[in-house]
């Protein structure tokens, strides 16, 4: 058996590889620099062009570009009319923003447990948590795999709830052959550099509902409105006139970020294809290793995977997850863990959430890690990661 680097052996590779990384090319640089030296660096034509293009791309009637994915979720909650006394159901296996958006609106996040095989929020658990106070469901397409959209929609229809899809991981994914972004009441995207396409920081909301579009739009730009009708009605006012009609925020995206994202959108299909290739290679390699459990997919989801998660069968290993993770890092494969259950954080504990409320998610958390997955990985990088996983498993096999 080959000696692990953590025990003094030679690492699998010389250079450290990380779990995710953006891919910025010359076309991106050119798009940004052209916009930077143009007339508008914010509130200009690139944001409008991006919104049109994004709406077209996902098959939605409306898109709003915003400053980040968290802002998208906040605007969606504002548009949904969520407020004090309301409950919003979400998953604990997510980035904190999926739950924080409810807190921003003084509502209560309620955590529903996940499916033990797909790791996505389970419709049965959602249903068990619906009360007369429930107003919306924030369902996260975890790792890029679509949630059970049909079942969640049925629950929303039956109980008169809004369906907000947190699609921070899932741009490029299709459900029943329809693009993510056109299926929920509102879909929220993130364009942080670790996500599938990036604008540095950035986000978007897509929807088919004009009423929600109007409210979310106001929320992202100070609640300020300006239109021709207003000008006519108030003919004594001049061309400077606008009105603040609700309390909004400044969550706008700049034009140079929009230019970058337009350029990245040109590459989304290529990025998606490469991500799928790597996922297939990983799946094939890990299927034969009984100590590694791979994420199951529902047939409706044609997934553009953002994260590749391996789950350790710790009953078959003599190591802990921590030891496995550290051993991988010494082989120069830097993994990450997605995610610590949100309600475990001190802030949530102070709000009264207790450990143990979502036992499946907690169990999954304790044995998972995300291995490198990004389109710029070479085939050799992919093989190195597989080799490192095998090497660590062999050393720690019972
Ligand atoms: C990244 C992420 C967000 C937040 O996006 P930002 O652009 O970083 O604000 C929200 N939800 C999930 C599931 C994410 O992964």
What pLDDT is recorded for position 19?
Answer: 96
pLDDT band at 52 (very low <50, low <70, confident <90, very high): very high
Which residue from 90, 92, 189, 190 has its CB within 8 A of the most atoms of ligand 1, so it is best to mutate?
Answer: 190
Q: CB-based burial of residue 59 (10 Å sphere; 0-12 exposed, 13-18 middle, 19+ buried)?
A: middle
How far does the centroid of ligand 1 lie from the alpha carbon of residue 84, in Å? 23
- Rounded to whole angstroms, how far apart are CA atoms 305 and 124? 24
**Rounded-to-integer distance, Cα 219 and Cα 249, Å:** 6
Average pLDDT of the segment spanning 152-168: 98
Number of the ligand 1 atom closest to the C-alpha atom of 192: 7
Residue 282 predicted with pLDDT over 90: yes
b or e along 160-177 (b: 16 or more beta carbons within 10 Å of the residue's beta carbon)? ebbbbbbbbbbbbbbbee
**Do 180 and 159 meet the contact criterion of CB atoms below 8 Å apart?**
no
Task: Report CA 328 to chain centroid distance, whole Å.
Answer: 25
For the chain, list the domains and their CATH numbers.
5-21+268-396 (3.90.1150.10), 26-265 (3.40.640.10)
Averaged confidence pLDDT in the chain: 97
Average pLDDT over residues 104-117: 98
What is the predicted pLDDT for the residue at 262?
98
Confidence of residue 1 (pLDDT cuts 50, 70, 90): confident
The predicted model gives 206-213 an average pLDDT of: 98
My answer on whether omega of the bond before 118 falls inside 30° of 0, hence cis, is: no
Is there a contact between 302 and 279 (Cβ–Cβ < 8 Å)?
no
Strands of 177-306, DSSP E: 178-179, 186-190, 203-207, 224-225, 243-244, 292-294, 301-302
Q: Residue 29 — very low, low, confident or very high, per pLDDT cuts 50/70/90? A: very high
Q: Where are the alpha helices (DSSP H) in 37-139?
A: 45-58, 69-79, 97-104, 123-129
Give the range among 222-231, 280-289, 346-355, 363-372 with minimum mean pLDDT: 222-231
How far, in Å, is the centroid of ligand 1 from the Cα of 233? 41
Residues 259-292, buried b or exposed e (16+ Cβ, 10 A)? bbbbbbbebeeebbebbbebbeebeebbeebebb
- State yes or no: pLDDT of 236 exceeds 90: no
pLDDT band at 55 (very low <50, low <70, confident <90, very high): very high
Confidence at 230, pLDDT banded by 50, 70, 90: confident
User: How confident is the model over 327-372, as pLDDT tens digits?
Assistant: 999 999 999 999 999 999 999 999 999 999 999 999 999 999 999 9
Say what percent of the chain tops pLDDT 70: 99
Ligand 1 centroid from CA 203, angstroms: 9
When pLDDT is cut at 50, 70 and 90, the band that residue 228 belongs to is: confident
Tell me which residue has its CA closest to atom 7 in ligand 1. 69
Q: Could you tell me the distance, in angstroms and rounded to a whole number, from the CA of residue 42 to the centre of ligand 1?
A: 22
pTM of model > 0.85: yes
């Amino acid at each position: 058996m080959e000696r692990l680097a953590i025990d003094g052996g030679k690492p699998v590779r010389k250079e450290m590889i990380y779990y995710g990384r953006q891919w910025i090319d010359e076309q991106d640089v050119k798009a940004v620099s052209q916009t930077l030296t143009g007339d508008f660096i914010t509130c200009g034509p690139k944001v409008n062009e991006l919104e049109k293009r994004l709406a077209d791309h996902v098959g939605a009637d409306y898109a709003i570009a915003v400053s980040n994915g968290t802002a998208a979720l906040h605007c969606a909650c504002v548009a949904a009319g969520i407020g004090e006394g309301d409950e919003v159901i979400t998953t604990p296996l997510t980035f904190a923003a999926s739950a924080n958006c409810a807190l921003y609106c003084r509502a209560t996040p309620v955590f529903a447990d996940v499916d033990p095989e797909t790791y996505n929020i389970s419709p049965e658990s959602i249903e068990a948590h619906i009360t007369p106070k429930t107003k919306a469901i924030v369902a996260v397409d975890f790792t890029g795999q679509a949630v059970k959209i049909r079942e969640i929609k049925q629950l929303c229809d039956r109980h008169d709830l809004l369906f907000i899809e947190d699609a921070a991981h899932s741009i490029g994914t299709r459900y029943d052959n329809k693009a993510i972004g056109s299926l929920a009441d509102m879909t929220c995207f993130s364009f942080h550099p670790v996500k599938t396409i990036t604008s540095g920081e950035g986000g978007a909301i897509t929807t088919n509902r004009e009423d929600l579009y109007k409210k979310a739009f106001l929320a992202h730009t100070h609640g300020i409105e300006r239109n021709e009708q207003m000008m006519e009605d108030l003919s004594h006012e001049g061309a400077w006139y606008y009105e603040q009609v609700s309390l909004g925020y400044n969550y706008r995206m700049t034009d140079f970020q929009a230019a970058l994202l337009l350029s990245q959108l040109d590459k989304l299909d290529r990025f998606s294809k490469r991500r799928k290739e790597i996922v297939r290679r990983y799946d094939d390699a890990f299927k034969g290793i009984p100590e590694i459990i791979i994420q199951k997919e529902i047939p409706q989801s044609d997934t553009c995977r953002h994260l590749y998660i391996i789950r350790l069968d710790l009953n078959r290993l003599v190591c802990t997850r921590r030891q496995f993770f550290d051993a991988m890092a010494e082989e120069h494969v830097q993994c990450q863990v997605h995610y610590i259950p949100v309600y475990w954080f001190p802030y949530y504990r102070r709000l009264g959430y207790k450990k143990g409320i979502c036992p499946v998610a907690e169990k999954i958390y304790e044995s998972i890690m995300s291995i490198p997955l990004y389109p710029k990985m070479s085939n050799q990088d992919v093989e190195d990661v597989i080799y490192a996983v095998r090497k660590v498993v062999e050393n720690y096999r019972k």
